[in-house]
Structure 1
Amino acid sequence: MLKHRFPVIVRDSMVATIHFLKSLNTYGADPAWVVVCGDSAGEGVATIVCQNLVDSSDLPKIRAQILIYAALQALDFQPPSYQQNKDVPLLRQNLAFYRWCGYLDISPSWKSTVLKRAHLPAKVWEKYRKWLGSENIPEKFKKRGYMPQEPLNETAYLETNIIRDLTNSPLVADDVVVSQLPKACIVSCEYGILQDHSLLYKKRLEDLGVPVTWHHMEDGFHGVLVTLDLGCLYLPCSTRVLNAVVHFIKEL
């Protein structure tokens, strides 16, 4: 992350995807069966790729998107799942924050300001509330209260304003873009700080008529899929995630 900052990862992924779509015959791939998949930050990139290609009439359409414990917005570090799961491995709140700073080249000194939601003005929060507000998350996923929003820190706002770029927060893309996305398979984990990203994006897709298959792992945590081949550290939840994805693909 520190070596390759924004927007290198997204740019390279777009170039690779477009090259692949233009070379399907070379790879023996059926143009009607291209599926984009990712997990965590990779899932966020997969979402951005799908969004950027919705109007590309000269390329084969993406058949489906598979989004595993999504990283879909860089605006808010205090939704319910962040507060409830901030100390749960493998992705603790501190680690997520410092990766965010490294990728976007933002000073970590703004941590307390960002965690108090004082890095964006009230008008920005209000603009995105219809998509990011905790009222969009089912009550069963909200177990504790929320931190109050503090007055805007103008300096923090100027330095962190890059987070409003849709390349960093595809969850708040325009309706006209999200409504054209392919059907989705979304996997969320009860004990992951990014759980709410998945829940909020699921709602957005469904509200706009995009078919969604949702799997919620009640014993899952962020990164659980990596335990699939870790021997004695293997957790059955990782197999259920994999099986859910395979079943989705088979049912396309």
Structure 2
Amino acid sequence: MSLRTVSVDYRLAPEHPYPAAFEDAYLAASWIQEKYNSPIIVAGDSAGGNLAAAVCLKARESESIQIVQQLLFYPCLSLQMDTPSYKRHGEGYNLTSEEMRWFIDSYTPEVTMRKEPFASPLLAVSHSRLPPAVIITAEYDPLHDDGLLYAKQLKDAGVEVYYKSYSGMVHSFFQMNGEVEAARIALDETIKQIKRGEYHLYTQTL
């Protein structure tokens, strides 16, 4: 399998609040589709996972972009900060709930926008007809439950999902590849899923 990788830049908050980053991400996907005229895999970690999931929702509406997989690594999928993992792992584990509050306030100063599906993909009315997903989460991460709940929602909507939570890991552990063995394992497993295009659901109880 030959893959061409495109790294996308986008406008950042607080100078450019929502929906600027989402619009940039979707325009980039549209440009890639037009330029290369081939199926697309969208991927992102943390806030990038939010954008990747949102682009899939928008692409489903327009049907103009052929997205065949979405890879979401410890993604932020709801701006409500109301899942149990925010309380369990909100302090002392790399990313804190306080930091997330600042990020969310900067990204969506207009509070009412936080429930829009392109800001909080977890809150979309429907998750059917979305691309198969690989979702990786970290045990000690306030965003852990975002990924777990999204995996369940996709599965319930008939979408193929590969989900795994890595025990003992913290937010951004993928960036520790070469230093943390779990990061290498997670990367290798993700590559296998891309090549195989095979999915199953692996979940842990909240």
Distance 2:20 2:65 in 1: 24
Task: Work out whether 1:81 is the aligned partner of 2:85.
Answer: yes
Tell me which residue corresponds to 2:62.
56
1:36 to 39, 42, 51: 42
Deviations 1:191-236 (A, max 9, x none): 110010011111111111101011210121111111225xxxx211
Tell me which residue corresponds to 2:167.
218
Q: Name the amino acid aligned to 1:239.
A: R
Distance 1:222 1:45 in 2: 17
Query: Deviation at 1:56?
Result: 2.9
1:45 to 42, 51, 69: 51
Tell me which residue corresponds to 2:106.
102
Count residues with an aligned counterpart: 185
RMSD: 1.5
Query: Taking structure 1 as the reference length, what is the TM-score of the superposition?
Result: 0.70
* 2:73–2:135 CA contact under 8 A, matched in 1: yes
Structure that is richer in strand per residue: 2
Tell me which residue corresponds to 1:71.
76
Q: Name the amino acid aligned to 1:37.
A: A
Per chain length, whose mean CA-contact separation is higher, i.e. which structure has more relative contact order (CA < 8 Å, sep 6+)? 1
Deviations 1:31-86 (A, max 9, x none): 24x211111010000000001001334x34211111110100112x2321111101
Distance 1:170 1:52 in 2: 10
Please give the secondary structure, in 2, of the residue aligned with 1:162. Answer: helix
1:165 to 100, 112, 116: 116
Please give the secondary structure, in 2, of the residue aligned with 1:197. Answer: helix
Q: Which structure 2 residues correspond to residues 102-121 of structure 1 after superposition, within 5 A?
A: 102-105=106-109
Distance 1:4 1:245 in 2: 32
Flag structure 1 segments of 5+ consecutive residues without an equivalent: 26-30, 107-159
Poorly superposed stretches of 4+, deviation over 3 Å:
none
Please give the secondary structure, in 2, of the residue aligned with 1:73. Answer: coil
Q: Name the amino acid aligned to 1:68.
A: F
Please give the secondary structure, in 2, of the residue aligned with 1:53. Answer: helix
Structure that is richer in helix per residue: 1
* 1:88–1:221 CA contact under 8 A, matched in 2: no
Query: Taking structure 2 as the reference length, what is the TM-score of the superposition?
Result: 0.85
